[in-house]
Structure 1
Amino acid sequence: MNKPIPYPELDDEPVEKFEDIDASLTYSYSNYLKWLFDDRVELIKGKVFKMSPAPSRIHQEIFGRIFRRIGNFLENQSCKVYGAPFDVRFPKESIDDKAIFTVLQPDICVICDKTKLDDRGCVGAPDLVVEILSPGNNKKELLYKYQIYEEFGVREYWVVSQSDQSILIYTLQEGKFYPSKIFTLSEKVTSSVLPGFELLLDDVFTE
């Protein structure tokens, strides 16, 4: 995607309906804050991506199992875990709202640097991001997210597939993501970001 170009002439009035968003324009976090519709969206380099409707029951169960285990592990530790909806802003040159063009809502993220946290979410890359794939996930959207997480320095990125009952982990090394093997049932995953943490896949995908 090309570098976003701000549109100073954009109307800063609140937007009531998603249908009033002009897909040809480039939007910033400042615009995003004025959207009053209920549809969940993400910004990727100024372009609006509508998120899937309410996640499926299976998606929610997988989310809950991973979130609880990470949360229990981090109890009384400095790192914090958050679940969607939770805005993560990725500033390129400035943290000013009008200069931020990428705002994502990872399913789960872990932030260890508390200076990145404010009342509206996180400013800057989380240390760990977990995305749970659903049948409705847009492949182009997933590619853009991968590129954003790599570019901005997410240290570890988990891709959880509910259909394959598997987890693939990308670890950042010298600015590039390197994939792990694909972990499946009967195996466990660990995390370079959370030393000592273990997650059994049988516990994640149990029915």
Structure 2
Amino acid sequence: MGLALKDTQHHCYGDYLTWPDDMRYELIDGSAYAMSPAPDLAHQDVAGEIYRQAANILTGKPCRAFIAPVDVRLPKQNEADESIDTVVQPDVLVVCDSNKLDRRGVRGAPDWIVEVLSPSTAGHDQIRKRNLYERHGVKEYWLIHPVDRVLTVYRLIGDEYGKPELYELNGETQVGVLPDIVIRWDELVTRLPVDY
């Protein structure tokens, strides 16, 4: 993810829409974070496989799966889009409320978010985005650790994430808030580089 922009200005989605397309950013509480260069192939393979499995299972159902880059705007209350100061691009997400979908992406918390960790984003995803997703009511948040072949799952209990659950990337894992979705790991893991 990199560091916040060097300026001290508070940014919002209106600013974000004017930035060049060749530079991707996420906004968290008004601070802009430069997205790292294109993720490596293993990262994309993991995200793509999770998206493919989820999208196939959801065919013909009201919930929809998406893969980055998709803007997810997280308003604090009912502010206009241009005033929203938090816009993220999770690796994979599922939204079950069609009222949250518009031509710009998603407005409001997805039901399920998956982030695939890489060295440049691990701290950002595990700390800053975990806190953000909890605060905005994302029901289930998965962190995939491809190097360690570990999945960390956070599920919302009331207004807070409960104790994280840890799983090895083998066999299959069911999405708690979307029981139709079961992610199968074995074939995917065999494709990951040994030194990843």
TM-score above 0.5, yes or no: yes
- The aligned residue for residue 93 of structure 2 is 109
8 Å CA contact 2:154–2:165 kept in 1: the answer is no
- SS for the counterpart of 2:162 is strand
* Stretch of structure 1 that moved more, 135-144 or 171-180: 135-144
- Structure 1 residue 181 displacement after superposition: 2.9
Alignment of 1:83-102 (within 5 A): 83-102=67-86
Distance 1:176 1:201, change over 3 A: same
Alignment of 1:71-82 (within 5 A): 71-82=55-66
Distance in 1 (alpha carbons) for counterparts of 2:125 and 2:165? 23
- Which residues of structure 1 form unaligned runs of 5+? 1-20
Distance 1:63 1:140, change over 3 A: closer
Alignment of 1:54-73 (within 5 A): 54-73=38-57
- The aligned residue for residue 183 of structure 1 is 167
Q: Which runs of 4+ in 1 moved over 3 A?
A: none
1:75-133 C-alpha deviation (Å, 9 max, x unpaired): 00000011100000000122313321000000001000000010000000000000000
Percent identity, aligned pairs only? 38
- The aligned residue for residue 105 of structure 2 is 121
How many residue pairs match? The answer is: 187
8 Å CA contact 1:168–1:179 kept in 2: the answer is no
1:49-98 C-alpha deviation (Å, 9 max, x unpaired): 01110010111111111111001100000000111000000001223133
| TM-score between the two structures when normalised by the length of structure 1 | 0.85
Q: Calculate the aligned-residue CA RMSD, in Å.
A: 1.5
Distance in 2 (alpha carbons) for counterparts of 1:79 and 1:37? 29
* Stretch of structure 1 that moved more, 102-111 or 189-198: 189-198
- Which residues of structure 2 form unaligned runs of 5+? 192-196
Distance in 1 (alpha carbons) for counterparts of 2:125 and 2:175? 25
- The aligned residue for residue 167 of structure 1 is 151
Alignment of 1:121-160 (within 5 A): 121-137=105-121, 139-140=123-124, 142-160=126-144
- The aligned residue for residue 185 of structure 2 is 201
| TM-score between the two structures when normalised by the length of structure 2 | 0.90
8 Å CA contact 2:110–2:138 kept in 1: the answer is yes
Distance in 2 (alpha carbons) for counterparts of 1:87 and 1:181? 27
- Structure 1 residue 182 displacement after superposition: 1.4
* Stretch of structure 1 that moved more, 42-51 or 28-37: 28-37
Larger relative contact order, structure 1 or 2 (CA cutoff 8 Å, min sep 6): 2
* Stretch of structure 1 that moved more, 134-143 or 153-162: 134-143
Distance in 2 (alpha carbons) for counterparts of 1:142 and 1:152? 16
Distance in 1 (alpha carbons) for counterparts of 2:53 and 2:116? 15
- The aligned residue for residue 51 of structure 1 is 35
